[in-house]
Amino acid sequence: MSSRIELDHVRQTFWVRGDDDKQLREFVALDDLSLAIGEGEFLTVVGPSGCGKSTVLDLIAGLAHPSGGRLTVDGVAVTGPGRDRSVVFQQYTLLPWRTAQGNVEFALEAAGVKGRGERREQARHYLALVGLAEFANRYPHELSGGMKQRVAIARSLSYEPQVLLMDEPFGALDAQTRERLQEELLGIWRRTGTTVVFITHDIDEAVFLGQRVAVMSARPGRIKEVIDVDLDREAAGETDLRATPAFAAYRHHIWTLLREQHGAPVQRSLEEVRTVA
Ligand code: ADP
Ligand code: MG
């Protein structure tokens, strides 16, 4: 498996206000973070809130630039967002005045797909892929939370990015919708062969989806361990994969890794609370 994305000793700092609220000081969000993501791989990243997961994703997306280290996609340093990478955020970010179909077409237009007919076809195809063929003409307010998130996924897939970056995309959904979308996403990934980097704070979700799970540690954020998940998801068929001993062993291992970090009481500093708020 060749590397598509490489983070090499990446460091990210932010300027934040100190306790006196006057002096700016440097806050180290990520330090010495190295990670290689393979072509066509489904990698999940799990870690506690505030450990720097979104920061990692923003860097790969090109929405922020690392303060130190090197970040490359296909060997080329990332300098900004690109059509090769698309992001699905936790909140539904649909245009309320456009239908599901219109939202996907809009993204295609922004991505430079010139022909109207082509945009229409492509949008239809990807809405069908996420199971929304019948709902193409509905407006966001006429769709459930899960449906809106599926439109967002269809929109991200529609311009066929080589890399799909997902930041806790199912975090706001109920458990059943979440599980259905997880299965759908795995199906889409198998069919399209796109590289997926999926951020979550949910251990089960990380194990269920990831071929590998990168476990992050906090303060400063770095990769603590990368675990190969060897579960036969297709053989599992109708059985509950999450109830198998193999699944439980992975879950427990990751739980232990995350728990270790709380050996000492976690001190949330004021500036951290402030910057999160
Ligand atoms: P996660 O997604 O794992 O919850 P984030 O990547 O959002 O964590 O944030 C990591 C740390 O960096 C947090 O302590 C957060 O407060 C801080 N941080 C993130 N973005 C900024 C910013 N733009 N300015 C200052 N601090 C930030
Ligand atoms: Mg986050």
The Å distance, Cα 139 to ligand 1 centre, comes to 33
Asked whether the beta carbons of 102 and 143 are under 8 A apart, the reply is no
Nearest ligand 1 atom, CA 167: 2
57 CA: nearest ligand 1 atom? 6
Inside any domain, residue 150? no
From 25, 27, 56, 215, the mutation candidate for ligand 1 (largest count of ligand atoms within 8 A of CB) is 27
Instruction: Report if residue 142 sits inside a domain.
Output: no
Q: Model-level pTM?
A: 0.86
Ligand 2 centre and the CA of 49: distance in Å? 7
Closest Cα to atom 4 of ligand 1: 50
Residue 25 lies in a domain: yes
Indicate whether 131 belongs to any domain. no
Residue 219 CB less than 6 A away from ligand 1: no
Separation of 80 CA from ligand 1 center, angstroms? 19
CATH code, domain with 68: 3.40.50.300
Domain count, the chain: 1
- Which atom of ligand 1 lies nearest, measured to the CA of 47? 3
* DSSP result, the chain: --EEEEEEEEEEEEEEE-TTSSSEEEEEEEEEEEEEEETT-EEEEE--TTSSHHHHHHHHHTSS--SEEEEEETTEE--S--TTEEEE-SS----TTS-HHHHHHHHHHHTT---HHHHHHHHHHHHHHTT-GGGTT--GGGS-HHHHHHHHHHHHHHT--SEEEEESTTTTS-HHHHHHHHHHHHHHHHHH--EEEEEES-HHHHHHH-SEEEEEETTTBEEEEEEE----HHHHTTS-GGGSHHHHHHHHHHHHHHHHTTSSPP---HHHHHHH-
Q: What is the separation, in whole angstroms, between the first and last Cα of the chain?
A: 40
The residue segments making up the domain with residue 166 are: 3-84+161-276
Residue partners of 231: CB distance under 8 A and separation at least 6: 207, 241, 244, 246, 247, 250
Q: Is 103 a pocket residue for ligand 1 (Cβ < 6 Å)?
A: no
Q: What is the pLDDT of residue 266?
A: 42
**Consecutive 10-residue runs of the chain (277 residues): their mean pLDDT?**
88 85 86 95 94 94 94 92 85 90 94 92 91 94 91 87 91 83 87 92 95 92 94 75 92 92 48 40
**What integer pLDDT is reported at residue 237 of this predicted model?**
66
Instruction: Please give the pLDDT value at position 157.
Output: 84
The reply to whether ligand 1 has any atom less than 6 angstroms from the CB of 277 is no
pLDDT at 262: 60
Q: Residue 215 — left, alpha, or beta (φ > 0 → left; ψ -120 to 50 → alpha)?
A: beta
> 166 C-alpha to center of ligand 2: Å?
10
CB of 207 within 6 A of ligand 1: the answer is: no
d(CA 164, CA 170): 14
Structural domain contains residue 167: yes
Task: Supply the residue whose CA is at minimum distance from atom 25 of ligand 1.
Answer: 14
- Using an 8 Å Cβ cutoff, are 88 and 164 in contact? yes
pLDDT at 61: 94
The answer to whether the CB of 269 is under 6 A from ligand 1 is no
Ligand in nearest proximity to the CA of 16? 1
Task: Judge whether 225 lies within some domain.
Answer: yes
Q: For residue 118, tell me if it sits in a domain.
A: no
Q: Is 213 domain-assigned?
A: yes
Kindly report the protein residue whose alpha carbon is nearest to atom 5 of ligand 1: 52
